[in-house]
């Protein structure tokens, strides 16, 4: 197991190098004239050159990449051209907010999606199954930004049950940062008011983000359940008198769920992608909103950094899922 | 490549193909949802082509405003109400079908072309070429498509063609992987070996024997993906990259409507429903098509 | 007195081209302590007959058109699912063909066996040698001990530790032994074995057959042995029923049927086998001659 882990980690290195090159090309080469963008449309040629020299934009691309990547390894992602603040600091502040949202949504998606798919698979082609099928397709077709607006409209504005946006109200000071997750940090600090408010603020954006993965997980779980139900061992379990509740909810569900959960890594990627939309709707101060604002301002250092961060989170998530698969599936863990 | 005339078995092949189509259509009709999807998709395509001609207030589509009529609730006069500058939302939604659908379809067609080309080359020629192309594909896949498309679109600069290109550049890896897998499995089929034994060249084997056999899974994936491409186009519009006002586009309309909530809810609800409905109908249709081409998928 | 009596059992299966009658009036009588072989080609309905006894044919796509199955005087066709569940594992045990797919790969052997033991013990705590009023923990411990004993009896070496292993760590023959042990947990009166040795190596086949026949002799068991292998029937069974196209065409004492068959299909089947070196129809001689 440990050797397998090391092997997988070794595989990540070339992926990260490739990723950084790709992202660098998109951020530095595609825009054509980043110095001109930074200097603004009314800058003189001298001003433009000064800015290019300041940021090293006058160097050949490979040199620029080398400088950039050595900087990244030291934790320096450059400065934001617009705010003139170091990108690394911004990232450290925004990334935990995004991760909190992503993890919370993933948790909701698994919690609802797995049982839903199990039920649909058990009662396949029944009215329940059809309803779940229509519901999941609708959920997958729902634009998140529209869903977010509707939830805000109903629960935030009309019913006033839940807060509209942000992570905490202005009057509540955030808990001291340990993990960067307000929900966990407030518990660590024993600040239950902050905990309550941070959970309330999470509900709408997390639900918005979770809806489509709930549907995807339910659909995959349904087909794995159907496949597992046709396995010989289910017939044996029946033939030896085990009650069907035990067969379905213990024996079938574990087999089907382990097949479904191996795909969680993919949902993490999808959730990370959708943060740009959900964070914009809910003014959630995460990297998605940060990247959106940077892109709208043609500010490429943050864009490169965020893209790189998202790629790294995605790769790590898949590594974790691989490990998880070994735990859930005894056959694999034993071989490696 | 020479043109082959099949004289002996041509008729038999054709009639077998016709029965196949009939069976496929029968299976498609079995699922009422896919028929509904197909009907709505057909209507949407009509709207995309002729929407601006049937819009009740065509002048609003060119940016004409009527501030006196701003924020009218839905009524007989303005079915979906009016927006912050007094434009008829119904007309804008009708016209918005064009950008959304055509861009969505364009993204998928482009992504299919790129992805299939790369996947077929990788799968057919194999070895180091396969290795390089697939590592590159995997690399692209480590980034969420929306993020990648945003970054590329930002780099290319805002315009509709650039947005389409950016989305296609983020979208092709799925097609490449699929095409590669299909090519790998059909490469080993006996009829391909037989063709090779008869001295057929690579081009001929690819176009005559392999491509025809990988088209149906690709068509299914295309139809399933169009809905999500429409969603992505609207998402970019909502974020503010891609389509810019005053071009009527559903995502942009939703983005603007945010400041009108909660009092002028109709400015948000109708464009949002339009996106939802078109994505949903493509998904229903795609689901039905998958049942036709791959009956095992739904059990 | 016969333990099992099937009369005129008719079953139809639905498929793409409508319904097909797959069991067309099956009659089968199995006496107490008999080893009844059921032979026939693939598709003759022998497996579905076995599954029908435990009422494990899913309906739909299956549909029973008529007939009765009497087990120890009780009509199983009219029994409720609840009543059937109490019979399964407890009165009627089953063993299936492929040992590699019949154990749940995601659970330890112990989990699967103890669940079955705990379940049969609900109606009869004596089976695991524990009092009904004993604590749950005590009953679990007793169930575990009982399962370990059984694994030892079916020839699993070091059952105390092997019981906690996952199925994929066992060989095919060992897995089939585990499955036999599982089927025996509830001390059933009737054991239905559906091609239990077909998927095994020839040498392993003989061992498993030997094991099963010794169990039947030692423990007051009745067995239905479903196979397409007449050689195996000849060495193992006391009675045999020959099935063809959803009917039992001939049945009786194994020597009588194999030596002087009346039915033309039986003759055909036997002559197909006689072209090879067929073992003589004597009972319980471990001969590894697999004939297909």
CA A154-A159-A162 angle, to 5 degrees, is 85
C270 falls in which pLDDT band (50, 70, 90)? Answer: confident
Asked whether residue A167 carries a pLDDT value surpassing 70, the answer given is yes
Output the six-digit token pair for C139: 């009953």
Asked whether residue A207 carries a pLDDT value surpassing 90, the answer given is yes
Nearest to A228 by CA among A129, A321, A121: A121
Q: What residue has token string 């905990």?
A: A195
- Note whether A240 contacts C185, CB cutoff 8 Å: yes
Q: Are C52 and C98 in contact (CB under 8 A)?
A: no
DSSP category for residue B69: G
Q: What residue has token string 């066709």?
A: C77
Q: What is the pLDDT of residue C16?
A: 67
Residues of C in contact with A236 (CB under 8 A): 94, 96, 102-103, 179, 182
Q: What is the pLDDT of residue A39?
A: 67
Residues of A in contact with B251 (CB under 8 A): 143, 145
pLDDT (average), residues C26-39: 88
- Phi, psi dihedral angles at B109 (to 5 degrees): -60, -45
Tell which phi-psi region holds residue C158, choosing left (phi > 0), alpha (psi between -120 and 50) or beta.
left
- Note whether C105 contacts A331, CB cutoff 8 Å: yes
Q: Are C203 and C288 in contact (CB under 8 A)?
A: yes
CA gap A214, A207 in Å, rounded: 10
Asked whether residue C173 carries a pLDDT value surpassing 50, the answer given is yes
Answer yes or no: do B49 and B22 share one domain.
no
Residues of A in contact with C101 (CB under 8 A): 231-233
Q: What is the number of CB-based contacts under 8 A between chain A and chain B?
A: 146
A86: helix, strand or coil: strand
* Closest residue in chain B to residue A159, using alpha carbons only: B262
Q: Find the helix or strand (DSSP H, E) in which B179 lies.
A: helix B160-187
Q: What is the 3-state secondary structure (H, E, C) of C131-186?
A: CCCCCHHHHHHHHHHHHHHHHHHCCCCCHHHHCCCCHHHCCHHHHHHHHHHHHHCC
Answer yes or no: do B208 and B96 share one domain.
yes
Answer yes or no: do B179 and B87 share one domain.
yes
Q: How far is A138 from chain B (nearest CA, A)?
A: 6
Output the six-digit token pair for C88: 């399964």
CA gap C23, C82 in Å, rounded: 25
Answer yes or no: do B96 and B207 share one domain.
yes
Q: What is the pLDDT of residue B48?
A: 82
Average pLDDT, chain B: 81
CA distances from A266 to A206, A314, B141 (A): 17, 8, 10
Q: What is the 3-state secondary structure (H, E, C) of chain C?
A: CEEEEEEEEEEEEEECCEEEEEEEEEEEEEECCCEEEEEECCCCCHHHHHHHHCCCCCCCCEEEEEEEEEECCEECCCCCHHHHHHHECCCEEEECCCCCCCCCCCCCHHHHHHHHHHHHHHHCHHHHCCCCCCCHHHHHHHHHHHHHHHHHHCCCCCHHHHCCCCHHHCCHHHHHHHHHHHHHCCCCCEEEEECCCCCCCHHHHHHHHHHHHHHHHHCCCEEEEEECCHHHHHHHCCEEEEEECCEEEEEEEHHHHHHCCCCHHHHHHHHHHHCCCCCCCCCCCCCCCCCC
CA gap B288, B224 in Å, rounded: 10
Q: What is the pLDDT of residue A333?
A: 46
Higher confidence at residue C246 or residue C112? C112
- Note whether B287 contacts A307, CB cutoff 8 Å: no
Q: What percent of chain C has pLDDT over 70?
A: 92
Answer yes or no: do B86 and B217 share one domain.
yes
Answer yes or no: do B204 and B127 share one domain.
yes
- Note whether A240 contacts C93, CB cutoff 8 Å: yes
Q: How far is A334 from chain C (nearest CA, A)?
A: 9
Q: What residue has token string 């095992």?
A: B296
DSSP category for residue A79: B
In this complex, the residue of B143, B258, B265 whose CB is nearest that of residue A311 is B143
Q: For position B257, which CATH number holds?
A: 1.10.3720.10
- Note whether A243 contacts C186, CB cutoff 8 Å: no
Q: What is the pLDDT of residue C200?
A: 79
Q: What is the pLDDT of residue A116?
A: 94
Determine how β-strand C74-75 pairs with β-strand C62-71. antiparallel
B186 falls in which pLDDT band (50, 70, 90)? Answer: confident
Q: Are B36 and B284 in contact (CB under 8 A)?
A: yes
Answer yes or no: do B81 and B150 share one domain.
yes
Answer yes or no: do B155 and B280 share one domain.
yes
Q: Which of A124, A228, A273, A301 to mutate to test the interface with B (most CBs of B within 10 A)?
A: A273
A258 in reach of chain C (CB within 8 A): yes
CA gap A102, A317 in Å, rounded: 11
A77 falls in which pLDDT band (50, 70, 90)? Answer: confident
pLDDT (average), residues A152-180: 81
CA distances from B272 to A270, B185, B221, B230 (A): 21, 42, 25, 12
Whether pTM exceeds 0.90: no
Asked whether residue C196 carries a pLDDT value surpassing 50, the answer given is yes
- Note whether A241 contacts C90, CB cutoff 8 Å: yes
Neighbours of A162 (CB within 10 A): 16
Nearest to C166 by CA among C213, C120, C112: C112
Q: What residue has token string 């009896």?
A: C153
CA gap A94, A103 in Å, rounded: 15
Asked whether residue A330 carries a pLDDT value surpassing 70, the answer given is no
Residues of A in contact with C119 (CB under 8 A): 241-243, 246
Answer yes or no: do B157 and B23 share one domain.
no
Higher confidence at residue C109 or residue C271? C109
Which positions ≥6 away from A201 have C-beta within 8 Å?
A163, A166, A167, A168
Q: What is the pLDDT of residue A114?
A: 93
Answer yes or no: do B38 and B17 share one domain.
no
Asked whether residue B3 carries a pLDDT value surpassing 60, the answer given is no
Can you give the length of chain C in residues?
292
Q: Are C242 and C26 in contact (CB under 8 A)?
A: no
Answer yes or no: do B111 and B14 share one domain.
no
* Chain segment C39-49, per-residue pLDDT in tens: 888 888 888 99
Q: What is the pLDDT of residue B20?
A: 67
| Residues A224-257 as b or e (16 or more Cβ within 10 Å = b) | bbbebbebbbbbbbbbbbbeeeebbebbbbbbbb
In this complex, the residue of B152, B235, B258 whose CB is nearest that of residue A149 is B258
Q: What is the pLDDT of residue B17?
A: 58
Hey, which residues does B82 pair with through a beta bridge?
A: B88
Q: How far is A241 from chain C (nearest CA, A)?
A: 4
Tell which phi-psi region holds residue A79, choosing left (phi > 0), alpha (psi between -120 and 50) or beta.
beta
Q: Find the helix or strand (DSSP H, E) in which B100 lies.
A: helix B89-125
| Residues B37-53 as b or e (16 or more Cβ within 10 Å = b) | bbebbeebeebbeebbe
pLDDT (average), residues C120-147: 82
DSSP category for residue A42: T
pLDDT (average), residues A267-272: 84
Q: What is the pLDDT of residue A314?
A: 86
- The range of the structural domain enclosing residue B7 comes to 1-30
DSSP of B194-249, one letter per residue? Answer: HHHHTT--HHHIIIIIIHHHHHHHHHHHHHHHHHHHHHHHHHHHHHTSSS-TTS--
pLDDT (average), residues A314-336: 69
B109 falls in which pLDDT band (50, 70, 90)? Answer: very high
pLDDT (average), residues B194-218: 82
Q: What is the pLDDT of residue B107?
A: 95
Nearest to B224 by CA among B67, B48, B41, B96: B41
Answer yes or no: do B23 and B144 share one domain.
no
Torsion angle defined by CA atoms of residues A191, A197, A201 and A202, in that order, rounded to the nearest 10 degrees: 40
CA gap A94, A180 in Å, rounded: 9
Asked whether residue C289 carries a pLDDT value surpassing 70, the answer given is no
Can you give the length of chain B in residues?
299
Residues of C in contact with A329 (CB under 8 A): 106
CA gap A20, B190 in Å, rounded: 43
CA gap C38, C193 in Å, rounded: 10
Output the six-digit token pair for C144: 């575990």
Residues of A in contact with C116 (CB under 8 A): 240-242
Q: What is the pLDDT of residue C283?
A: 45
* Chain segment A17-76, per-residue pLDDT in tens: 888 888 888 877 776 666 666 666 677 778 777 777 777 777 788 888 888 888 888 888
Enumerate the domain spans of chain C.
Answer: 104-187
- Note whether B283 contacts A274, CB cutoff 8 Å: no
CA dihedral for B276, B278, B279, B282, sign (positive or negative) = positive
Instruction: State how many domains chain B has.
Output: 2
Q: Are C78 and C72 in contact (CB under 8 A)?
A: no
DSSP of A238-303, one letter per residue? Answer: HHTT--HHHIIIIIIHHHHHHHHHTTHHHHHHHHHHHHHHHHHHTT--SHHHHHHHHHHTT-HHHH
Asked whether residue C98 carries a pLDDT value surpassing 90, the answer given is no
CA gap B182, A164 in Å, rounded: 48
Determine how β-strand C190-194 pairs with β-strand C18-31. unpaired
Q: What is the pLDDT of residue B81?
A: 77
Average pLDDT, chain C: 83
CA gap B120, B114 in Å, rounded: 10
CA B247-B249-B251 angle, to 5 degrees, is 135
DSSP category for residue B259: G
B263: helix, strand or coil: coil
Asked whether residue C114 carries a pLDDT value surpassing 80, the answer given is yes
Asked whether residue C176 carries a pLDDT value surpassing 70, the answer given is yes
* Chain segment B21-61, per-residue pLDDT in tens: 777 777 777 777 788 888 888 888 888 888 778 877 777 67
CA gap C242, C229 in Å, rounded: 11
Output the six-digit token pair for B62: 């060119």
Higher confidence at residue C116 or residue C270? C116
Chains A and C touch (3+ CB pairs under 8 A): yes
Higher confidence at residue B228 or residue B19? B228
Residues of B in contact with A124 (CB under 8 A): 299
Q: Which of A143, A301, A312 to mutate to test the interface with B (most CBs of B within 10 A)?
A: A143
B4 falls in which pLDDT band (50, 70, 90)? Answer: very low
CA gap B111, A26 in Å, rounded: 18
Q: What is the pLDDT of residue B185?
A: 82
Asked whether residue C148 carries a pLDDT value surpassing 90, the answer given is yes
Residues of A in contact with C93 (CB under 8 A): 239-240
* Closest residue in chain A to residue C111, using alpha carbons only: A251
Q: What is the pLDDT of residue B156?
A: 81
CA gap A112, A212 in Å, rounded: 11
- Note whether A15 contacts B138, CB cutoff 8 Å: yes
Which range, A66-75, B51-60, B129-138, B192-201, is most confident? Answer: B129-138
Residues of B in contact with A29 (CB under 8 A): 155
pLDDT (average), residues B128-153: 87
CA gap A41, A43 in Å, rounded: 6
- Note whether C179 contacts A251, CB cutoff 8 Å: no
CA C228-C230-C232 angle, to 5 degrees, is 95
Asked whether residue B167 carries a pLDDT value surpassing 90, the answer given is yes
- Note whether A330 contacts C106, CB cutoff 8 Å: yes
Query: Lowest mean pLDDT: which of A93-107, B60-74, C161-175?
Result: B60-74
């Amino acid at each position: 197991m440990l050797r397998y882990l090391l092997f997988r980690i070794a595989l990540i290195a070339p992926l990260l190098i490739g990723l950084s090159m790709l992202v660098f090309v998109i951020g530095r080469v595609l825009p054509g004239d980043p110095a001109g963008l930074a200097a603004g449309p009314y800058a003189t040629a001298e001003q433009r050159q000064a800015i290019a020299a300041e940021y090293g934009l006058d160097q050949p691309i490979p040199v620029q990449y080398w400088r950039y990547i050595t900087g990244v390894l030291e934790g320096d992602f450059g400065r934001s051209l617009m705010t003139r603040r170091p990108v690394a600091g911004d990232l450290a502040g925004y990334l935990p907010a995004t991760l909190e949202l992503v993890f919370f949504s993933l948790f909701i998606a698994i919690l609802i999606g797995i049982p839903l798919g199990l039920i649909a698979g058990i009662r396949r082609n029944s009215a329940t199954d059809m309803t779940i099928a229509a519901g999941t397709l609708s959920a997958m077709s729902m634009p998140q930004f529209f869903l977010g607006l509707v939830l805000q409209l109903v629960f935030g504005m009309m019913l006033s049950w839940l807060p509209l946006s942000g992570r905490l109200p202005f009057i509540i000071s955030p808990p001291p940062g340990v993990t960067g997750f307000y929900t966990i940090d407030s518990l660590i600090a024993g600040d239950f008011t902050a905990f309550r408010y941070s959970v309330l603020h999470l509900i709408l954006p997390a639900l918005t983000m979770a809806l489509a993965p709930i549907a995807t997980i339910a659909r995959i779980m349904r087909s794995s359940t159907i496949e597992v139900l046709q396995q010989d061992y289910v017939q044996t379990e029946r033939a030896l008198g085990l009650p069907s509740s035990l067969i379905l909810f213990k024996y079938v569900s574990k087999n089907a769920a382990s097949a479904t959960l191996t795909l969680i890594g993919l949902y993490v990627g999808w959730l990370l992608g959708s943060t740009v939309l959900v964070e914009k709707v809910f003014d959630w101060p995460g990297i998605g909103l940060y990247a959106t604002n940077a892109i709208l301002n043609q500010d490429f250092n943050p864009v490169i950094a965020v893209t790189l961060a998202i790629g790294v989170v995605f790769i790590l998530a898949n590594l974790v899922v691989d490990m998880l698969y070994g735990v859930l599936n005894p056959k694999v863990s034993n071989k490696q | 490549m020479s043109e082959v005339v099949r004289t002996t078995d041509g008729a038999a092949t054709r009639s077998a193909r016709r029965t196949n189509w009939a069976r496929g259509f029968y299976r498609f009709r079995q699922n009422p949802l896919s028929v509904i999807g197909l009907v709505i998709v057909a209507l949407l395509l009509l709207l995309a082509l002729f929407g601006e001609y049937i819009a009740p207030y065509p002048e609003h589509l060119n940016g004409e405003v009527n501030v006196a009529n701003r924020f009218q609730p839905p009524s007989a006069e303005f079915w979906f109400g009016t927006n912050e500058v007094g434009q008829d939302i119904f007309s804008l939604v009708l016209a918005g079908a064009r950008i959304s659908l055509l861009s969505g379809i364009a993204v998928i067609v482009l992504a299919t072309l790129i992805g299939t080309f790369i996947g077929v080359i990788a799968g057919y020629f194999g070895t180091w070429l396969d290795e390089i192309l697939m590592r590159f594909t995997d690399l692209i896949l480590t980034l969420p498509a929306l993020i990648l498309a945003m970054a590329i679109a930002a780099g290319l600069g805002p315009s509709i063609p650039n947005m389409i290109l950016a989305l296609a550049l983020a979208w092709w890896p799925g097609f490449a992987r699929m095409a590669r897998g299909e090519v790998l499995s059909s490469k080993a089929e006996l009829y391909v070996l037989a063709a090779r034994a008869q001295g057929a060249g690579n081009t001929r084997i690819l176009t005559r024997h392999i491509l025809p056999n990988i088209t149906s899974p690709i068509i299914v994936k295309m139809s399933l993906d169009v809905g999500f491409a429409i969603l992505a186009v609207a998402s970019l519009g909502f974020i503010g990259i891609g389509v810019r006002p005053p071009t009527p586009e559903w995502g942009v309309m939703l983005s603007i409507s945010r400041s009108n909530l909660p009092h002028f809810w109709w400015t948000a609800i109708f464009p949002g429903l339009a996106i939802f409905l078109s994505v949903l109908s493509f998904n229903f249709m795609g689901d039905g098509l998958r049942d036709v081409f791959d009956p095992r998928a739904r059990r | 007195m016969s333990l099992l009596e099937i009369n005129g059992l008719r079953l139809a299966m639905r498929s793409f081209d409508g319904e097909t009658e797959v069991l067309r009036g099956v009659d089968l009588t199995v006496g107490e302590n008999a080893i009844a072989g059921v032979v026939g080609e693939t598709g003759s309905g022998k497996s579905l007959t076995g599954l029908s006894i435990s009422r494990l044919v899913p309906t739909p796509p299956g549909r029973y058109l008529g007939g009765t199955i009497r087990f120890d005087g009780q009509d199983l066709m009219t029994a409720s699912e609840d009543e059937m569940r109490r019979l399964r594992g407890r009165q009627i045990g089953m063993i299936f063909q492929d040992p590699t797919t019949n154990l749940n790969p995601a659970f330890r052997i112990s989990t699967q066996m103890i669940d079955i033991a705990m379940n049969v013990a609900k109606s009869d705590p004596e089976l695991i040698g524990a009092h009904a009023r004993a604590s749950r923990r005590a009953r679990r411990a007793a169930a575990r001990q009982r399962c370990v004993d059984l694994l030892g009896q079916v020839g699993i070496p070091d059952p105390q530790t092997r019981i906690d292993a996952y199925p994929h760590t066992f060989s095919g023959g060992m897995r089939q032994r585990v499955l036999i042990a599982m089927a025996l947990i509830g001390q059933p009166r009737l054991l239905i074995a559906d091609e239990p040795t077909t998927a095994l190596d020839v040498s392993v086949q003989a061992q498993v057959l030997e094991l099963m026949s010794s169990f039947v002799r030692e423990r007051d068991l009745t067995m239905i042995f479903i196979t397409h292998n007449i050689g195996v029937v000849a060495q193992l069974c006391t009675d045999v029923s020959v099935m063809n196209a959803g009917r039992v065409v001939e049945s009786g004492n194994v020597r009588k049927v194999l030596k002087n068959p009346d039915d033309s299909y039986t003759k055909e089947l036997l002559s197909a086998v006689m072209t090879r070196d067929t073992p003589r129809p004597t009972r319980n001689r471990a001969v590894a001659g697999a004939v297909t």
